[in-house]
Amino acid sequence: MHNTHESNLKLARQRLLEPGNVSLADLESALAHALSTGGDFADLYFQQSRLEAWTLEDQKVKSGSHSIDQGVGVRVNSGEKTGFAYAESISPEGIREAATHARSIAKSAPGDSTPAPVKVASREVPLMYTADDVLSRVENRQIIDTLRGMDARARASDPRVHKVVCSLVTAQETMLVAASDGTLAADVRPMVKISIQVMASDNEGRMEMGFAGGGGRRTLGEILDTPGLVDSFVDQAVKTALINLKAKPAPAGTMPVVVGSGWPGVLLHEAIGHGLEGDFNRKGSSAFSGRIGERVASDACTVIDSGILPGRRGSLTVDDEGTPAAENVLIEKGILRGYMQDKLNARLMGMQPTGNGRRESFAHLPMPRMTNTYMLAGEHDPEEIIASVDKGLYAVNFAGGQVDITNGKFVFSANEAYLIENGKITTPVKDATLIGDGPTVLTRVSMVGNDLAFDQGLGVCGKDGQSVPVGIGQPTLRVDELTVGGTQL
């Protein structure tokens, strides 16, 4: 069957509504009930998620788990006030009870009034990934054999590899949202994540770790059938561990930094992306608040958040409020063009939703979040960018980082980095941290590579206690001046 939004909606109704004898009329009645004590907006978010996880440690299956979770969250907005309740039982009675609790929290009028009728209807939107089951055509034996093959490849690649942990996680999520603005939308979302961590040690007892992996909104069978993909994760993890075994202490000081393509876009995600989410800007707490139309970066920088990249980890057919995913230009040639919005913050700011309303589950409120955030490619060859640096740092990969939204200040740890000397990549270094602030670092980007690449599919973003999958991308960048924390040589 050719999947369409209507076929997704049919699947969602079969999986979420019909087992509890819930009709569309019940949804419309519950929305009207939720608004009967006042309120600007109400929505119902139904979700069923199935998670399966496997871990192989030191050639043995260490754990395997399978879980199914489902329920409905009911939200009522009245101005800036939000009432929210959820139920794990999807039934007309459970939905109405949750709506009663939510409306009591957001109550803006005394007593009950005769609720205005609510009508919901769907519209066709393009799908960004398959609705096929994530585990179709794959047996448990194939999963275990894949993990054992990864372990064997890592150990055979170098005698210094002495510990290997491989994991595989799949998720199949079905959601349906109905809202008082007439929205009726559904999505069927697969997700796969495969990863490997290796430890290597030398004769002097020094130990270093390497980590790699990938996945996306595809079926597991598609990923396992992609020639060389899983092997590339293993080789990358081993390479990182072995390079770090011979790495020297990183220098400290202010210097030019060349940031690699792909996953290093996590710096862009943290230092810039969070500051462009609507809630922080509505509250005036972001370093980018009130700056639309202003220059916030060099003219070499165009930054986009797109939920419509097929099969990417951060992609969505519709967001968790039923708004179709979109491509949103955040910064265009250095000029701030817009923020990422959910319905609440868009309404309060007099703007339009951008398809960035996301939540971890039915038990959580939606908020503006990134999807796939990346910088467009530039004109420079990566070798040209390296050759332009007399003495500096080449940061190829990052372990993670932290950012303060109010001022954009960040600290990032590089887990693979090299010195650049006289325009050449030379000695690998370890324990390098990049320290700066997002609004400043973008103004210091002087060269942008022609090698835009995306991460391999591991990104998880945390905000206000909620985690959601995201994608990251960027070309090679030259930042003319950045503080590097390390060891003064």
Q: Are residues 259 and 160 in the same domain?
A: no
Q: Are residues 425 and 290 in the same domain?
A: yes
Residue 2 — very low, low, confident or very high, per pLDDT cuts 50/70/90? Answer: low
Which helix (H) or strand (E) covers residue 420, if one does? Answer: strand 409-421
- State the pLDDT at residue 489: 41
- State the pLDDT at residue 116: 79
pLDDT higher than threshold 60 for residue 488? no
Q: Which domain holds residue 25?
A: 5-245
Which of these three, 209, 224, 245, is where a domain ends?
A: 245
Q: By C-alpha distance, which of 81, 90, 108, 112 is closest to 44?
A: 90
Structurally, the chain folds into a number of domains equal to 2
Q: CA-CA distance, 275 to 463, in Å (whole number)? A: 12
Q: Are residues 263 and 201 in the same domain?
A: no
For 292, list phi and psi in degrees, rounded to 5: -60, 130
Task: Output the average pLDDT for the chain.
Answer: 94
Q: Are residues 302 and 169 in the same domain?
A: no
Q: Are residues 187 and 257 in the same domain?
A: no
- State the pLDDT at residue 487: 60
For 2-60, give the DSSP string: ---HHHHHHHHIIIIIGGGT--HHHHHHHHHHHTBTB-SEEEEEEEEEEEEEEEEETTE
- State the pLDDT at residue 112: 63
Q: Are residues 80 and 200 in the same domain?
A: yes
Residue 111 — very low, low, confident or very high, per pLDDT cuts 50/70/90? Answer: low
- State the pLDDT at residue 205: 86
The CA-atom distances, in angstroms, between 484 and each of 253, 298, 431, 435, 489 are 5, 21, 10, 6, 12
Q: Are residues 221 and 324 in the same domain?
A: no
Residue 443 — very low, low, confident or very high, per pLDDT cuts 50/70/90? Answer: very high
Between 205 and 140, the more confident residue is 140
- State the pLDDT at residue 401: 76
Residue 4 — very low, low, confident or very high, per pLDDT cuts 50/70/90? Answer: confident
Q: Are residues 223 and 345 in the same domain?
A: no
For 198-244, give the DSSP string: EEEE-TT--EEEEEEEEEESS-HHHHHTSTTHHHHHHHHHHHHHHHH
- State the pLDDT at residue 271: 82
Q: Are residues 139 and 92 in the same domain?
A: yes
Q: What is the pLDDT of residues 345-388, one digit of tens each?
A: 999 999 999 999 999 999 999 999 999 999 999 999 999 999 99
Q: CA-CA distance, 233 to 59, in Å (whole number)? A: 17
Q: What is the pLDDT of residues 420-434, one digit of tens each?
A: 999 999 999 998 999
- State the pLDDT at residue 270: 84
Q: Are residues 347 and 323 in the same domain?
A: yes
Q: By C-alpha distance, which of 123, 136, 130, 151 is closest to 56?
A: 151
Which of these three, 245, 278, 299, is where a domain ends?
A: 245
Residue 210 — very low, low, confident or very high, per pLDDT cuts 50/70/90? Answer: very high
**% of the chain beyond a pLDDT of 90:** 87
Q: Are residues 271 and 200 in the same domain?
A: no
Which of these three, 179, 213, 245, is where a domain ends?
A: 245
Average pLDDT over residues 101-105: 94
Q: CA-CA distance, 212 to 237, in Å (whole number)? A: 5
Between 489 and 275, the more confident residue is 275
Q: Are residues 262 and 136 in the same domain?
A: no
Residue 111 belongs to domain with CATH number: 3.30.2290.10
Q: What is the pLDDT of residues 393-418, one digit of tens each?
A: 999 998 877 788 778 888 989 989 99
Residue 113 — very low, low, confident or very high, per pLDDT cuts 50/70/90? Answer: low
Residue 58 — very low, low, confident or very high, per pLDDT cuts 50/70/90? Answer: confident
